[in-house]
Copies of this chain bind each other. A is one copy, B any other.
Amino acid sequence: MSPAAGEPASPPARLSAAEAVDFLQLLEKLKHLKRTGWVRSGVAGAESVADHSFRMATLALALGGAEGTDAMRCVKMALVHDVAEALVGDITPHCGVSDEEKHRREAEAMAQIASLLGGGAAAEEVSLLWHEYEQGQTAEAKLVKDLDKLEMIAQASEYEQAQGMDLSGFFRSTQGKWRTQTGGAIAEEVTRRYEAHKAQRADGGDE
C-alpha cells in the first residue's frame, strides 16, 4: 500500500478517495460533539450527536416505511439530519440564537459540506436530504422529525433513571408536537414506561 502508487484503482462511484477521507474527518466531529441538552442538564457522559443519529436511523430501518414513507429515505435522512452540526455545533433553543440564524448557519455549513463532497451526486443527495428534513413538509421529513424527538425522550428517560436528575422538561417540550400517528404512539409508550418507573421510585419500589 505505497502512497506513491500511481495506478488508477477503479474509483468509488461518486466520491474520490480524498473526498471520502475528508468526509470521514468531518463525521469524526459528530462523535466528539456532545448533545447540548444533556450537557446543560448536568448529565455525566452525555451521548454524542453520532450516537443520537445512529439510534434514530436504526429505528427508522426497523420501522420500515411506517406512515407510507419510503423507508430508506427516512434512514438516510436520519443519518444526515444533524450533519451540519459538525461545523456549527449543536445549537438549542437555550443558546440565544434565533431559529432563523440557526438555519442560516446550518445551511451555510451544508454548502461547505456539499463542496467537501465534491459537488456531485453524493453532495446533492446529502444536501437534498438535509433541506427536506429542515423544511419538514414531506411524509418522510415528518416521520424523521418525530424520530428525532422520540430518540430524545427515550434518552431523557434513560438518563433520569440512571442518574436521578429531573429530565421531565424534555417530555414537556414535545407535548402536542407529534406529526405522525406512529410517532405519537411510540411516544405514548415511552411516556408510559417513564411514568411507571417514576411512580415505582416514588414508592421506594426500587431504591
Q: Which of A103-111, A132-140, A178-186 contacts B (4 or more CB under 8 A)?
A: A178-186
Residue in A1, A10, A75 whose Cβ sees the most chain B Cβ within 10 Å: A1
Known: A14-B64, A187-B1, A189-B20. A50 touches B59 (CB 8 A): no
Query: Number of contacting residues on A, CB 8 A?
Result: 69
Cα–Cα distance between A54 and B50 once the two chains are bound (Å): 6
Contact among B18, B24, B76, B151 with A61 in the assembled complex (CB-CB below 8 Å): B76
Q: Does A84 contact B (CB under 8 A)?
A: no
Partner pick for A58 among B48, B80, B175, CB 8 A cutoff: B80
* Chain B residues whose CB sits within 8 angstroms of the CB of A24 once the complex forms: 55, 59, 150-151, 154, 190
Please give the count of copies of this chain that the complex contains: 2
Q: Are A12 and B58 in contact (CB-based, < 8 A)? A: no
- Known: A17-B189, A184-B9. Is A47-B23 also a contact (CB below 8 A)? no
> What secondary structure prevails in chain A residues at the interface with B?
helix
Residue of B nearest to A69 (CB): B13
Q: Nearest Cβ distance between residue A54 and chain B, in whole angstroms? A: 4
- Closest residue on chain B to residue A2 by CB atoms: B188
A166 within 8 A of B: no
What sequence of 0s and 1s flags, for each residue 182-207 of chain A, a beta carbon within 8 Å of any chain B beta carbon?
Answer: 10111111111101100000000000
The 4 tightest CB contacts between A and B, nearest first, are A3-B192, A54-B54, A17-B189, A12-B66
What would 14 A/B residue contacts be, using CB atoms closer than 8 Å?
A1-B191, A3-B188, A5-B188, A10-B67, A12-B63, A15-B62, A15-B63, A23-B59, A25-B154, A54-B57, A61-B76, A61-B80, A61-B126, A62-B117
- Interface residues, chain A, with chain B CB atoms under 8 Å away: 1, 3, 5, 9-15, 17-18, 20-21, 23-25, 27-28, 30-31, 47-48, 50-51, 53-55, 57-59, 61-67, 72, 75-76, 79-80, 83, 117, 121-122, 125-126, 150-151, 154-155, 158, 175, 181-182, 184-193, 195-196
